[in-house]
Each structure stands twice: as structure tokens, then as C-alpha cells.
């Protein structure tokens, strides 16, 4: 049986990128360089695959809770505490994806 994505990743990166591009169109010359850089950052974030976004989220949760990614049981517990709606199976899948 094939593994399915454990959670749906909801991102607004494209909306942020579009808003920055719109702001760039009307930007004063002294604002352009900063907005161009912001557009590039947003575009790179928007281009990330969902798996990378999930992996980053897991690693961030674990880091904030002081749990090593190598400690599977405490890591799964930390994920479920951070997002109580996660099932055990989903938390384990997220952990496995991030630990790989």
C-alpha cells in the first residue's frame, strides 16, 4: 500500500508573491530593490514542494520543543502536542519524512 501525505499543507506563498509583485509595479525607485528581493524570497518559498514544507515544519516544532529529530518517540509526542488533531499514524509519517 502506498503512503499518502499525512497532512495537507496550506500555504499562501503564491498570494504573498502576487501581492509583492503588485506592490513592485507601483513602487517608488527607492523601494524597488527591497521589493524585488522580497519577491525573489517569496517565489523561492512558493516553489518548495509540500514535502519540504512539512519537513521544515516538523524540524521547527522539534527544535522549539528541544527534541532531537533522532528521538522518535519524544518527537512523535511533540508533534501530536503541537497539532492535537494529528493521528498517531500521521505524526509517525511526518516524523519519518523529516528524519529521512
With beta carbons less than 8 A apart as the criterion, state whether 91 and 78 touch: no
Which pLDDT score, from 0 to 100, does residue 93 have?
A: 94
What b/e sequence results for 6-24 when a residue is b if at least 16 CB atoms lie within 10 Å of its CB, and e otherwise? bbeeeeebeebbeebeeee
pTM: 0.74
Q: How confident is the model at residue 8 (pLDDT cuts 50, 70, 90)?
A: low
pLDDT (tens digit per residue) in 36-87: 999 999 999 889 998 999 999 999 999 999 999 999 999 999 999 999 999 9
| Secondary structure letter of residue 84 according to DSSP | T
Amino acid at each position: 500500500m502506498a503512503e499518502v501525505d499525512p497532512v495537507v499543507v496550506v500555504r499562501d506563498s503564491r498570494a504573498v508573491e502576487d501581492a509583492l509583485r503588485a506592490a513592485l509595479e507601483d513602487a517608488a525607485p527607492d523601494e524597488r530593490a527591497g521589493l524585488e528581493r522580497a519577491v525573489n524570497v517569496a517565489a523561492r518559498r512558493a516553489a518548495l514542494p509540500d514535502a519540504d514544507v512539512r519537513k521544515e515544519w516538523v524540524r521547527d516544532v522539534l527544535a522549539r520543543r528541544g527534541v532531537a529529530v533522532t528521538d522518535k518517540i519524544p518527537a512523535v509526542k511533540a508533534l501530536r502536542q503541537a497539532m492535537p488533531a494529528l493521528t498517531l499514524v500521521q505524526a509517525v509519517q511526518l516524523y519519518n519524512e523529516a528524519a529521512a
